[in-house]
Structure 1
Amino acid sequence: MPTQQLDYFTSLVAEDDHFPLTEAAIAVAQHAYPSLDVQGVLDRIDQLSNKLKERITPDTSPMQRLQMLRHFFYTELGFGPNQNDFYDPDNSYLHQMLENRRGIPISLAILMMELGQQINLPIRGVSFPNHFMMRISLQQGEIIMDPLTGESLSKNQLQEMLDPYLDAKGYRGELSLPLNIFLRASSPREILSRFMRNLKMIYSEHERWDRLLGVQERLVILLPNSFEEIRDRGLIFAQLEYVRPAIADMLQYLKEVPGAEDAAEIREHIATLESQTKLH
Protein backbone atom coordinates (compact mmCIF):
# COMPACT_ATOMS: atom_id res chain seq x y z
CA MET A 1 0.00 0.00 0.00
CA PRO A 2 2.74 2.57 0.81
CA THR A 3 4.03 2.27 -2.80
CA GLN A 4 0.59 3.21 -4.12
CA GLN A 5 0.51 6.17 -1.76
CA LEU A 6 3.95 7.34 -2.87
CA ASP A 7 2.89 6.98 -6.52
CA TYR A 8 -0.20 9.07 -5.78
CA PHE A 9 1.89 11.74 -4.03
CA THR A 10 4.34 11.70 -6.97
CA SER A 11 1.50 12.34 -9.42
CA LEU A 12 0.25 15.29 -7.32
CA VAL A 13 3.59 17.11 -7.17
CA ALA A 14 4.89 16.20 -10.63
CA GLU A 15 4.56 19.66 -12.19
CA ASP A 16 4.39 23.24 -10.99
CA ASP A 17 1.44 24.21 -13.19
CA HIS A 18 -1.85 23.22 -11.50
CA PHE A 19 -0.06 22.10 -8.33
CA PRO A 20 -2.88 20.93 -5.97
CA LEU A 21 -1.41 22.26 -2.71
CA THR A 22 -4.32 21.36 -0.44
CA GLU A 23 -4.66 17.81 -1.77
CA ALA A 24 -0.90 17.24 -1.58
CA ALA A 25 -0.77 18.59 2.01
CA ILE A 26 -3.59 16.22 3.03
CA ALA A 27 -1.87 13.32 1.25
CA VAL A 28 1.35 13.85 3.24
CA ALA A 29 -0.51 12.43 6.27
CA GLN A 30 -0.95 9.04 4.59
CA HIS A 31 2.47 8.00 5.88
CA ALA A 32 1.12 8.27 9.45
CA TYR A 33 -2.53 7.48 8.69
CA PRO A 34 -2.37 4.83 5.92
CA SER A 35 -6.15 4.45 5.63
CA LEU A 36 -6.75 8.20 5.27
CA ASP A 37 -9.36 9.05 2.62
CA VAL A 38 -7.92 12.17 0.97
CA GLN A 39 -11.02 12.80 -1.14
CA GLY A 40 -13.17 12.59 1.99
CA VAL A 41 -11.09 15.36 3.59
CA LEU A 42 -11.41 17.50 0.44
CA ASP A 43 -15.18 16.97 0.59
CA ARG A 44 -15.25 18.23 4.18
CA ILE A 45 -13.39 21.37 3.15
CA ASP A 46 -15.88 21.84 0.28
CA GLN A 47 -18.74 21.62 2.80
CA LEU A 48 -17.16 24.48 4.76
CA SER A 49 -16.61 26.58 1.67
CA ASN A 50 -20.20 25.99 0.53
CA LYS A 51 -21.47 27.49 3.81
CA LEU A 52 -19.37 30.54 3.12
CA LYS A 53 -20.36 30.79 -0.55
CA GLU A 54 -24.04 31.00 0.46
CA ARG A 55 -23.34 34.37 2.10
CA ILE A 56 -21.52 35.90 -0.85
CA THR A 57 -23.08 37.62 -3.86
CA PRO A 58 -21.36 38.92 -7.02
CA ASP A 59 -21.50 42.38 -5.38
CA THR A 60 -19.52 41.33 -2.29
CA SER A 61 -16.24 43.26 -2.53
CA PRO A 62 -12.86 41.54 -1.97
CA MET A 63 -12.47 43.40 1.34
CA GLN A 64 -15.91 42.21 2.48
CA ARG A 65 -15.05 38.66 1.38
CA LEU A 66 -11.89 38.81 3.47
CA GLN A 67 -13.79 40.06 6.53
CA MET A 68 -16.40 37.31 6.11
CA LEU A 69 -13.72 34.64 5.69
CA ARG A 70 -11.87 35.81 8.79
CA HIS A 71 -15.04 35.82 10.90
CA PHE A 72 -16.10 32.40 9.57
CA PHE A 73 -12.68 30.79 10.06
CA TYR A 74 -11.57 32.19 13.42
CA THR A 75 -14.81 33.11 15.21
CA GLU A 76 -17.47 30.69 13.93
CA LEU A 77 -15.30 27.64 13.29
CA GLY A 78 -12.82 28.52 16.05
CA PHE A 79 -9.57 27.71 14.23
CA GLY A 80 -6.39 28.77 16.02
CA PRO A 81 -3.09 27.64 17.55
CA ASN A 82 -2.67 24.57 19.74
CA GLN A 83 -1.41 26.43 22.82
CA ASN A 84 -1.08 23.20 24.83
CA ASP A 85 1.16 21.35 22.37
CA PHE A 86 2.47 23.48 19.52
CA TYR A 87 4.80 20.68 18.37
CA ASP A 88 2.19 17.93 18.12
CA PRO A 89 2.55 16.46 14.59
CA ASP A 90 -1.25 16.39 14.32
CA ASN A 91 -1.16 20.20 14.07
CA SER A 92 0.31 19.67 10.60
CA TYR A 93 -2.15 17.04 9.38
CA LEU A 94 -5.10 18.77 7.76
CA HIS A 95 -7.62 16.03 8.51
CA GLN A 96 -6.75 16.23 12.22
CA MET A 97 -6.82 20.02 12.12
CA LEU A 98 -10.36 19.94 10.68
CA GLU A 99 -11.33 17.74 13.63
CA ASN A 100 -9.57 19.64 16.42
CA ARG A 101 -9.58 23.16 14.90
CA ARG A 102 -5.97 23.50 16.01
CA GLY A 103 -2.95 24.03 13.78
CA ILE A 104 0.34 25.81 13.20
CA PRO A 105 0.68 28.90 10.98
CA ILE A 106 1.40 27.02 7.75
CA SER A 107 -1.34 24.38 8.09
CA LEU A 108 -3.92 27.04 9.02
CA ALA A 109 -2.74 29.14 6.07
CA ILE A 110 -3.14 26.26 3.60
CA LEU A 111 -6.75 25.82 4.68
CA MET A 112 -7.42 29.59 4.61
CA MET A 113 -5.89 29.82 1.12
CA GLU A 114 -8.13 26.99 -0.08
CA LEU A 115 -11.28 28.61 1.33
CA GLY A 116 -10.20 31.98 -0.09
CA GLN A 117 -9.71 30.48 -3.53
CA GLN A 118 -13.21 29.00 -3.41
CA ILE A 119 -14.76 32.44 -2.79
CA ASN A 120 -12.61 34.13 -5.42
CA LEU A 121 -10.27 35.76 -2.94
CA PRO A 122 -6.66 34.99 -3.88
CA ILE A 123 -4.61 34.50 -0.70
CA ARG A 124 -0.94 33.66 -1.13
CA GLY A 125 1.46 32.09 1.31
CA VAL A 126 4.60 33.90 2.48
CA SER A 127 7.57 31.95 3.87
CA PHE A 128 8.43 34.58 6.46
CA PRO A 129 11.30 33.53 8.78
CA ASN A 130 10.09 31.55 11.82
CA HIS A 131 6.40 32.31 11.18
CA PHE A 132 4.47 31.54 8.01
CA MET A 133 2.26 34.44 6.80
CA MET A 134 -0.52 35.10 4.30
CA ARG A 135 -0.64 37.90 1.73
CA ILE A 136 -3.77 39.36 0.13
CA SER A 137 -3.64 41.98 -2.63
CA LEU A 138 -6.61 44.35 -2.50
CA GLN A 139 -7.35 47.67 -4.19
CA GLN A 140 -6.66 49.28 -0.81
CA GLY A 141 -3.17 47.74 -0.84
CA GLU A 142 -1.34 44.65 0.35
CA ILE A 143 -2.42 42.96 3.57
CA ILE A 144 -0.07 40.64 5.49
CA MET A 145 -2.02 38.42 7.84
CA ASP A 146 -1.05 36.13 10.71
CA PRO A 147 -2.61 32.67 10.08
CA LEU A 148 -2.83 31.96 13.83
CA THR A 149 -5.24 34.81 14.51
CA GLY A 150 -6.25 36.46 11.21
CA GLU A 151 -4.73 39.71 12.47
CA SER A 152 -3.34 42.12 9.85
CA LEU A 153 0.24 43.03 10.68
CA SER A 154 1.80 46.45 10.16
CA LYS A 155 5.26 46.96 8.67
CA ASN A 156 6.53 47.88 12.16
CA GLN A 157 5.16 44.65 13.66
CA LEU A 158 6.67 42.60 10.85
CA GLN A 159 10.04 44.34 11.23
CA GLU A 160 9.99 43.59 14.98
CA MET A 161 9.35 39.92 14.21
CA LEU A 162 12.11 39.89 11.59
CA ASP A 163 14.85 41.65 13.60
CA PRO A 164 15.84 38.65 15.80
CA TYR A 165 16.25 36.55 12.64
CA LEU A 166 18.41 39.25 11.00
CA ASP A 167 20.50 39.49 14.18
CA ALA A 168 20.97 35.71 14.35
CA LYS A 169 22.05 35.58 10.69
CA GLY A 170 24.32 38.63 10.93
CA TYR A 171 22.28 40.58 8.38
CA ARG A 172 22.89 43.95 9.97
CA GLY A 173 24.44 47.30 9.11
CA GLU A 174 25.61 47.28 5.49
CA LEU A 175 24.36 43.71 5.09
CA SER A 176 20.89 44.61 6.32
CA LEU A 177 18.11 43.16 4.13
CA PRO A 178 14.87 45.07 3.48
CA LEU A 179 11.61 43.72 4.87
CA ASN A 180 10.04 43.37 1.40
CA ILE A 181 12.46 40.58 0.46
CA PHE A 182 10.81 38.42 3.14
CA LEU A 183 7.25 39.20 2.07
CA ARG A 184 7.26 37.76 -1.44
CA ALA A 185 4.65 35.12 -2.19
CA SER A 186 5.91 31.52 -2.15
CA SER A 187 5.14 28.90 -4.79
CA PRO A 188 3.00 25.88 -3.83
CA ARG A 189 6.12 23.66 -3.99
CA GLU A 190 7.99 25.99 -1.62
CA ILE A 191 5.01 26.04 0.75
CA LEU A 192 4.69 22.25 0.77
CA SER A 193 8.43 21.76 1.35
CA ARG A 194 8.31 24.11 4.37
CA PHE A 195 5.18 22.31 5.61
CA MET A 196 6.96 18.94 5.39
CA ARG A 197 10.22 20.20 6.89
CA ASN A 198 8.26 21.21 10.00
CA LEU A 199 7.18 17.58 10.35
CA LYS A 200 10.72 16.43 9.62
CA MET A 201 12.05 18.61 12.45
CA ILE A 202 9.43 17.33 14.93
CA TYR A 203 10.03 13.65 14.14
CA SER A 204 13.84 14.13 14.10
CA GLU A 205 13.82 15.68 17.56
CA HIS A 206 11.75 12.79 18.92
CA GLU A 207 13.80 10.19 16.97
CA ARG A 208 10.67 8.64 15.48
CA TRP A 209 12.59 7.18 12.57
CA ASP A 210 9.73 5.23 10.97
CA ARG A 211 7.49 8.32 10.87
CA LEU A 212 10.42 10.44 9.75
CA LEU A 213 11.11 8.09 6.84
CA GLY A 214 7.53 8.55 5.59
CA VAL A 215 8.01 12.31 5.49
CA GLN A 216 11.51 12.06 4.06
CA GLU A 217 10.50 9.79 1.18
CA ARG A 218 7.97 12.44 0.14
CA LEU A 219 10.52 15.24 0.45
CA VAL A 220 12.82 13.38 -1.96
CA ILE A 221 9.89 13.13 -4.41
CA LEU A 222 8.92 16.79 -3.92
CA LEU A 223 12.46 18.18 -4.30
CA PRO A 224 14.20 15.87 -6.78
CA ASN A 225 17.15 18.26 -7.20
CA SER A 226 17.81 18.63 -3.48
CA PHE A 227 20.50 16.01 -2.93
CA GLU A 228 20.65 16.80 0.80
CA GLU A 229 17.19 15.23 1.06
CA ILE A 230 18.56 12.01 -0.50
CA ARG A 231 21.44 12.09 2.02
CA ASP A 232 18.98 12.58 4.87
CA ARG A 233 16.89 9.66 3.68
CA GLY A 234 20.04 7.55 3.70
CA LEU A 235 20.79 8.58 7.29
CA ILE A 236 17.24 7.64 8.31
CA PHE A 237 17.54 4.28 6.52
CA ALA A 238 20.73 3.71 8.55
CA GLN A 239 18.88 4.43 11.83
CA LEU A 240 16.26 1.87 10.83
CA GLU A 241 19.03 -0.62 9.88
CA TYR A 242 18.03 -0.68 6.21
CA VAL A 243 21.70 -0.90 5.35
CA ARG A 244 21.69 -1.33 1.55
CA PRO A 245 19.31 1.55 0.74
CA ALA A 246 21.20 3.70 3.28
CA ILE A 247 24.51 3.09 1.49
CA ALA A 248 22.89 3.65 -1.94
CA ASP A 249 21.49 7.06 -0.91
CA MET A 250 24.74 8.22 0.66
CA LEU A 251 26.78 7.13 -2.39
CA GLN A 252 24.37 9.00 -4.65
CA TYR A 253 24.76 12.13 -2.52
CA LEU A 254 28.57 11.95 -2.74
CA LYS A 255 28.36 11.41 -6.50
CA GLU A 256 26.07 14.42 -6.99
CA VAL A 257 27.81 16.73 -4.47
CA PRO A 258 31.44 15.57 -4.43
CA GLY A 259 32.64 18.76 -2.71
CA ALA A 260 30.07 18.65 0.08
CA GLU A 261 31.27 19.95 3.45
CA ASP A 262 30.12 16.76 5.14
CA ALA A 263 31.59 14.41 2.50
CA ALA A 264 34.18 12.95 4.91
CA GLU A 265 31.52 12.34 7.55
CA ILE A 266 29.23 10.61 5.04
CA ARG A 267 32.12 8.42 3.83
CA GLU A 268 32.67 7.34 7.45
CA HIS A 269 28.98 6.45 7.73
CA ILE A 270 29.26 4.35 4.57
CA ALA A 271 32.39 2.57 5.85
CA THR A 272 30.63 1.75 9.14
CA LEU A 273 27.58 0.41 7.31
CA GLU A 274 29.72 -1.66 4.92
CA SER A 275 31.59 -3.22 7.85
CA GLN A 276 28.19 -4.14 9.38
CA THR A 277 27.09 -5.91 6.21
CA LYS A 278 30.33 -7.94 6.22
CA LEU A 279 29.74 -8.97 9.85
CA HIS A 280 26.27 -10.36 9.09
Structure 2
Amino acid sequence: MPTQQLDYFTSLVAEDEHLPLTEAAIAVAQHAYPDLDVQSVLDQLDQMGNKLKSRITPDTPQIQRLQILRNFFYTELGFGPNPNDFYAPENSYLHYVLENRRGIPISLAILMMELGNQIGLKIRGVSFPNHFMMRISLQQGEIIMDPLTGESLSKNQLQEMLDPYLDAKGYRGELSLPLNIFLRASNPREILSRFLRNLKMIYSEDERWERLLGIQERLVILLPNSIEEVRDRGLIFAQLEYLRPAIADMHRYLSESPEAEDAGDIREHIATLESQAKFH
Protein backbone atom coordinates (compact mmCIF):
# COMPACT_ATOMS: atom_id res chain seq x y z
CA MET A 1 0.00 0.00 0.00
CA PRO A 2 1.83 3.15 -1.15
CA THR A 3 1.98 5.32 1.99
CA GLN A 4 2.43 8.45 -0.13
CA GLN A 5 -1.09 8.13 -1.52
CA LEU A 6 -2.55 7.43 1.91
CA ASP A 7 -0.69 10.43 3.35
CA TYR A 8 -2.16 12.59 0.58
CA PHE A 9 -5.67 11.28 1.28
CA THR A 10 -5.12 11.82 5.03
CA SER A 11 -4.15 15.45 4.45
CA LEU A 12 -7.24 16.03 2.29
CA VAL A 13 -9.71 14.71 4.87
CA ALA A 14 -7.99 16.03 8.00
CA GLU A 15 -10.45 18.86 8.66
CA ASP A 16 -14.21 19.02 8.25
CA GLU A 17 -14.25 22.70 7.49
CA HIS A 18 -12.10 22.68 4.37
CA LEU A 19 -12.57 19.13 3.14
CA PRO A 20 -12.21 19.28 -0.68
CA LEU A 21 -14.83 16.71 -1.61
CA THR A 22 -14.12 16.57 -5.35
CA GLU A 23 -10.36 16.23 -4.94
CA ALA A 24 -10.72 13.58 -2.21
CA ALA A 25 -13.23 11.61 -4.30
CA ILE A 26 -10.87 11.65 -7.30
CA ALA A 27 -7.97 10.61 -5.05
CA VAL A 28 -9.88 7.52 -3.86
CA ALA A 29 -9.14 5.93 -7.25
CA GLN A 30 -5.39 6.02 -6.60
CA HIS A 31 -5.65 2.68 -4.78
CA ALA A 32 -6.66 1.07 -8.09
CA TYR A 33 -4.88 3.46 -10.46
CA PRO A 34 -1.62 4.36 -8.70
CA ASP A 35 -0.42 6.58 -11.57
CA LEU A 36 -3.58 8.68 -11.61
CA ASP A 37 -2.83 12.39 -11.80
CA VAL A 38 -5.51 13.98 -9.59
CA GLN A 39 -4.63 17.51 -10.68
CA SER A 40 -5.22 16.73 -14.37
CA VAL A 41 -8.72 15.45 -13.52
CA LEU A 42 -9.40 18.66 -11.57
CA ASP A 43 -8.14 20.63 -14.59
CA GLN A 44 -10.62 18.79 -16.82
CA LEU A 45 -13.43 19.81 -14.50
CA ASP A 46 -12.21 23.41 -14.48
CA GLN A 47 -12.29 23.42 -18.30
CA MET A 48 -15.92 22.29 -18.17
CA GLY A 49 -16.59 24.96 -15.56
CA ASN A 50 -15.05 27.65 -17.77
CA LYS A 51 -17.27 26.59 -20.65
CA LEU A 52 -20.28 26.95 -18.37
CA LYS A 53 -19.18 30.32 -17.02
CA SER A 54 -19.00 31.68 -20.57
CA ARG A 55 -22.75 31.05 -20.88
CA ILE A 56 -23.86 33.11 -17.91
CA THR A 57 -23.55 36.74 -16.82
CA PRO A 58 -23.58 38.11 -13.26
CA ASP A 59 -27.30 38.85 -13.84
CA THR A 60 -28.29 35.32 -14.87
CA PRO A 61 -30.94 34.18 -12.33
CA GLN A 62 -30.22 31.06 -10.28
CA ILE A 63 -33.03 29.04 -11.84
CA GLN A 64 -31.67 29.81 -15.31
CA ARG A 65 -28.15 28.84 -14.20
CA LEU A 66 -29.55 25.51 -13.09
CA GLN A 67 -31.24 24.98 -16.48
CA ILE A 68 -27.98 25.82 -18.28
CA LEU A 69 -26.04 23.40 -16.05
CA ARG A 70 -28.62 20.65 -16.46
CA ASN A 71 -28.66 21.00 -20.23
CA PHE A 72 -24.85 21.11 -20.41
CA PHE A 73 -24.33 18.07 -18.16
CA TYR A 74 -27.06 15.68 -19.32
CA THR A 75 -27.83 16.74 -22.90
CA GLU A 76 -24.65 18.26 -24.28
CA LEU A 77 -22.08 16.11 -22.44
CA GLY A 78 -24.40 13.11 -22.16
CA PHE A 79 -23.76 12.11 -18.53
CA GLY A 80 -26.04 9.39 -17.20
CA PRO A 81 -26.29 5.91 -15.67
CA ASN A 82 -24.43 2.84 -16.85
CA PRO A 83 -27.41 0.47 -17.28
CA ASN A 84 -25.31 -2.39 -18.67
CA ASP A 85 -23.00 -2.56 -15.68
CA PHE A 86 -24.42 -0.47 -12.86
CA TYR A 87 -22.28 -2.20 -10.21
CA ALA A 88 -18.93 -1.88 -11.97
CA PRO A 89 -16.47 -0.20 -9.57
CA GLU A 90 -15.36 2.13 -12.38
CA ASN A 91 -18.70 3.95 -12.06
CA SER A 92 -17.37 5.32 -8.77
CA TYR A 93 -14.01 6.51 -10.10
CA LEU A 94 -14.42 10.12 -11.16
CA HIS A 95 -11.68 10.12 -13.80
CA TYR A 96 -13.44 7.16 -15.44
CA VAL A 97 -16.88 8.78 -15.12
CA LEU A 98 -15.55 11.96 -16.79
CA GLU A 99 -14.09 9.95 -19.64
CA ASN A 100 -17.04 7.65 -20.27
CA ARG A 101 -19.89 9.91 -19.07
CA ARG A 102 -21.31 7.00 -17.10
CA GLY A 103 -21.71 6.82 -13.34
CA ILE A 104 -23.87 6.06 -10.34
CA PRO A 105 -25.94 8.70 -8.51
CA ILE A 106 -23.23 9.70 -6.03
CA SER A 107 -20.38 10.02 -8.56
CA LEU A 108 -22.56 12.05 -10.94
CA ALA A 109 -23.76 14.20 -8.03
CA ILE A 110 -20.20 15.05 -6.96
CA LEU A 111 -19.43 16.25 -10.50
CA MET A 112 -22.68 18.25 -10.69
CA MET A 113 -22.02 19.82 -7.30
CA GLU A 114 -18.52 20.85 -8.40
CA LEU A 115 -19.73 22.38 -11.68
CA GLY A 116 -22.69 24.05 -9.96
CA ASN A 117 -20.35 25.54 -7.40
CA GLN A 118 -18.24 27.02 -10.21
CA ILE A 119 -21.24 28.98 -11.53
CA GLY A 120 -22.49 30.12 -8.14
CA LEU A 121 -25.18 27.49 -7.51
CA LYS A 122 -25.61 25.97 -4.07
CA ILE A 123 -25.97 22.24 -4.75
CA ARG A 124 -25.60 19.86 -1.81
CA GLY A 125 -25.60 16.09 -1.59
CA VAL A 126 -28.35 14.16 0.17
CA SER A 127 -27.70 10.63 1.46
CA PHE A 128 -31.18 9.39 0.57
CA PRO A 129 -31.61 5.63 1.20
CA ASN A 130 -30.58 3.49 -1.80
CA HIS A 131 -30.28 6.49 -4.14
CA PHE A 132 -28.07 9.51 -3.61
CA MET A 133 -29.82 12.83 -4.36
CA MET A 134 -28.96 16.49 -4.83
CA ARG A 135 -30.56 19.41 -3.03
CA ILE A 136 -30.52 22.81 -4.72
CA SER A 137 -31.43 26.01 -2.88
CA LEU A 138 -33.10 28.62 -5.11
CA GLN A 139 -35.05 31.79 -4.32
CA GLN A 140 -38.17 29.81 -5.29
CA GLY A 141 -37.39 27.16 -2.69
CA GLU A 142 -35.59 23.83 -2.47
CA ILE A 143 -35.39 21.36 -5.34
CA ILE A 144 -34.51 17.69 -4.91
CA MET A 145 -32.91 16.36 -8.07
CA ASP A 146 -32.03 12.87 -9.28
CA PRO A 147 -28.32 12.88 -10.27
CA LEU A 148 -28.88 10.10 -12.84
CA THR A 149 -31.24 12.14 -14.99
CA GLY A 150 -31.38 15.71 -13.68
CA GLU A 151 -35.10 15.27 -13.03
CA SER A 152 -36.65 17.27 -10.17
CA LEU A 153 -38.57 14.94 -7.89
CA SER A 154 -41.85 15.71 -6.15
CA LYS A 155 -42.59 14.84 -2.52
CA ASN A 156 -44.84 12.01 -3.74
CA GLN A 157 -42.14 10.52 -5.96
CA LEU A 158 -39.61 10.70 -3.12
CA GLN A 159 -42.05 9.09 -0.69
CA GLU A 160 -42.64 6.23 -3.16
CA MET A 161 -38.89 5.69 -3.40
CA LEU A 162 -38.56 5.78 0.38
CA ASP A 163 -41.42 3.43 1.28
CA PRO A 164 -39.67 0.11 0.40
CA TYR A 165 -36.72 1.15 2.59
CA LEU A 166 -39.05 2.06 5.49
CA ASP A 167 -40.85 -1.29 5.07
CA ALA A 168 -37.58 -3.21 5.09
CA LYS A 169 -36.44 -1.43 8.27
CA GLY A 170 -39.83 -1.73 9.97
CA TYR A 171 -40.21 2.07 10.18
CA ARG A 172 -43.92 2.15 9.37
CA GLY A 173 -47.14 2.69 11.24
CA GLU A 174 -46.36 3.90 14.77
CA LEU A 175 -42.66 4.34 13.95
CA SER A 176 -43.22 6.13 10.67
CA LEU A 177 -40.44 8.61 9.92
CA PRO A 178 -41.17 11.82 8.02
CA LEU A 179 -39.67 12.26 4.56
CA ASN A 180 -37.78 15.41 5.59
CA ILE A 181 -35.45 13.44 7.86
CA PHE A 182 -34.07 11.74 4.73
CA LEU A 183 -33.64 14.96 2.75
CA ARG A 184 -31.09 16.57 5.05
CA ALA A 185 -27.99 17.83 3.24
CA SER A 186 -24.90 15.71 3.97
CA ASN A 187 -21.49 17.15 4.75
CA PRO A 188 -18.42 16.19 2.65
CA ARG A 189 -17.23 13.54 5.14
CA GLU A 190 -20.64 11.84 5.11
CA ILE A 191 -20.73 11.93 1.31
CA LEU A 192 -17.22 10.52 1.04
CA SER A 193 -17.97 7.71 3.51
CA ARG A 194 -21.02 6.68 1.46
CA PHE A 195 -18.90 6.91 -1.70
CA LEU A 196 -16.28 4.59 -0.16
CA ARG A 197 -18.85 2.19 1.28
CA ASN A 198 -20.35 1.67 -2.18
CA LEU A 199 -16.93 0.49 -3.35
CA LYS A 200 -16.47 -1.55 -0.18
CA MET A 201 -19.70 -3.41 -0.91
CA ILE A 202 -18.75 -4.09 -4.56
CA TYR A 203 -15.25 -5.38 -3.75
CA SER A 204 -16.55 -7.44 -0.76
CA GLU A 205 -19.11 -9.20 -2.94
CA ASP A 206 -16.45 -9.92 -5.57
CA GLU A 207 -13.94 -10.95 -2.86
CA ARG A 208 -11.27 -8.73 -4.40
CA TRP A 209 -9.34 -8.42 -1.16
CA GLU A 210 -6.38 -6.29 -2.33
CA ARG A 211 -8.74 -3.76 -3.90
CA LEU A 212 -10.97 -3.88 -0.84
CA LEU A 213 -8.01 -3.18 1.44
CA GLY A 214 -7.25 0.02 -0.49
CA ILE A 215 -10.80 1.23 0.15
CA GLN A 216 -10.83 0.07 3.76
CA GLU A 217 -7.56 1.88 4.56
CA ARG A 218 -9.26 5.09 3.43
CA LEU A 219 -12.40 4.44 5.48
CA VAL A 220 -10.24 4.02 8.60
CA ILE A 221 -8.55 7.37 7.82
CA LEU A 222 -11.83 9.13 6.98
CA LEU A 223 -13.75 7.87 10.04
CA PRO A 224 -11.19 7.82 12.86
CA ASN A 225 -13.91 7.31 15.51
CA SER A 226 -15.43 4.25 13.84
CA ILE A 227 -13.79 1.25 15.49
CA GLU A 228 -15.89 -1.07 13.26
CA GLU A 229 -13.86 0.09 10.27
CA VAL A 230 -10.66 -0.97 12.08
CA ARG A 231 -12.22 -4.40 12.73
CA ASP A 232 -13.17 -4.71 9.06
CA ARG A 233 -9.63 -3.81 8.00
CA GLY A 234 -8.37 -6.56 10.32
CA LEU A 235 -10.72 -9.07 8.69
CA ILE A 236 -9.45 -8.05 5.24
CA PHE A 237 -5.82 -8.33 6.41
CA ALA A 238 -6.68 -11.87 7.58
CA GLN A 239 -8.09 -12.77 4.14
CA LEU A 240 -4.81 -11.58 2.61
CA GLU A 241 -2.81 -13.53 5.24
CA TYR A 242 -1.24 -10.36 6.62
CA LEU A 243 -1.43 -11.98 10.03
CA ARG A 244 0.26 -9.46 12.32
CA PRO A 245 -1.66 -6.37 11.16
CA ALA A 246 -4.88 -8.47 11.23
CA ILE A 247 -4.26 -9.48 14.86
CA ALA A 248 -3.34 -5.91 15.82
CA ASP A 249 -6.55 -4.45 14.34
CA MET A 250 -8.73 -7.08 16.00
CA HIS A 251 -7.10 -6.54 19.39
CA ARG A 252 -7.65 -2.81 19.00
CA TYR A 253 -11.32 -3.43 18.20
CA LEU A 254 -11.78 -5.60 21.30
CA SER A 255 -9.96 -3.15 23.56
CA GLU A 256 -12.35 -0.38 22.48
CA SER A 257 -15.51 -2.51 22.17
CA PRO A 258 -15.10 -5.42 24.63
CA GLU A 259 -18.90 -5.86 24.86
CA ALA A 260 -19.54 -5.85 21.09
CA GLU A 261 -21.99 -8.47 19.81
CA ASP A 262 -19.28 -10.08 17.69
CA ALA A 263 -16.57 -9.91 20.40
CA GLY A 264 -16.66 -13.70 20.86
CA ASP A 265 -16.23 -14.34 17.13
CA ILE A 266 -13.35 -11.87 16.93
CA ARG A 267 -11.60 -13.51 19.92
CA GLU A 268 -11.84 -16.89 18.17
CA HIS A 269 -10.52 -15.32 15.00
CA ILE A 270 -7.53 -13.89 16.86
CA ALA A 271 -6.76 -17.27 18.42
CA THR A 272 -6.79 -18.93 14.98
CA LEU A 273 -4.58 -16.24 13.49
CA GLU A 274 -2.12 -16.38 16.40
CA SER A 275 -1.72 -20.14 16.01
CA GLN A 276 -1.16 -19.62 12.26
CA ALA A 277 1.39 -16.88 12.95
CA LYS A 278 3.47 -19.32 15.01
CA PHE A 279 3.99 -21.51 11.95
CA HIS A 280 4.85 -18.64 9.62
**How high is the TM-score relative to the length of structure 1?**
0.99
User: Is structure 2 residue 160 aligned with structure 1 residue 171?
Assistant: no
Residue 187 of structure 1: aligned partner = 187
Q: Which runs of 5+ in 1 are unaligned?
A: none
Whichever residue aligns with residue 256 of structure 1, its letter is E
Q: Tell me, what secondary structure is at the counterpart of 1:228?
A: helix
Distance in 1, matches of 2:195 and 2:277, equals: 36
User: Is residue 115 of structure 1 aligned with residue 115 of structure 2?
Assistant: yes
Q: In 1, Cα distance between the equivalents of 2:226 and 2:113?
A: 27
Query: Which residue pairs with 1:25 in the alignment?
Result: 25
What is the match of residue 246 of structure 1? Answer: 246
Q: Could you report, residue by residue, the CA deviation over 1:48-99 in whole angstroms, capped at 9, with x for unpaired residues? A: 0100000010110000000000000000000000000000100000000001
Q: Which amino acid aligns with 2:29?
A: A
Paired position in structure 1 for 2:74: 74
Q: Which residue of 1 aligns with 2:52?
A: 52
Gapped runs of 5+ residues in structure 2? none
Letter in 2 for 1:203: Y
Q: Which amino acid aligns with 2:27?
A: A
The separation in 1 between residues aligned to 2:258 and 2:65, in whole angstroms, is 52
- Give the corresponding residue for 1:155: 155
Matches within 5 A, 1:1-280: 2-280=2-280
Q: Tell me which amino acid in the other structure corresponds to 2:151.
A: E
> How many angstroms does 1:18 deviate by?
1.1
Secondary structure at the residue paired with 2:115?
helix
Q: 2: CA distance between counterparts of 1:77 and 1:158?
A: 27
CA distance in 2, matches of 1:113, 1:257: 38
| Structure 2 CA distance for aligned equivalents of residues 245 and 55 of structure 1 | 54
Q: Secondary structure at the match of 1:152?
A: coil
Q: Which runs of 4+ in 1 moved over 3 A?
A: none
Supply the distance in 2 between the matched residues of 1:137 and 1:179 (Cα, whole angstroms): 18
State the alpha-carbon separation in 2 of the partners of residues 179 and 73 from structure 1.
28
Match of 1:33, SS state, is coil
CA positional deviation for 1:279:
2.3
- Letter of the 1:45 counterpart: L
The alpha carbon displacement at 1:277 in A equals 1.1
Aligned partner of residue 84 in structure 1, secondary structure: helix
* Offset at residue 218 of structure 1 (A): 0.4
Give, as a single letter, the amino acid of the residue that structure 2 aligns with 1:137: S
Q: Distance in 2 between matches of 1:279 and 1:49?
A: 58
| Structure 1 CA distance for aligned equivalents of residues 91 and 259 of structure 2 | 38
TM normalised by structure 2 equals 0.99
1:258 offset after TM fit, Å? 1.0
CA distance in 2: counterparts of 1:255 and 1:69, whole angstroms: 50
Aligned equivalents of 2:266, 2:77: Cα separation in 1 = 48
Counterparts of 1:259 and 1:65 in 2: how far apart (Å)?
A: 53
Distance in 2 (alpha carbons) for counterparts of 1:215 and 1:173 = 38
- Shift, 1:183, TM fit: 0.2
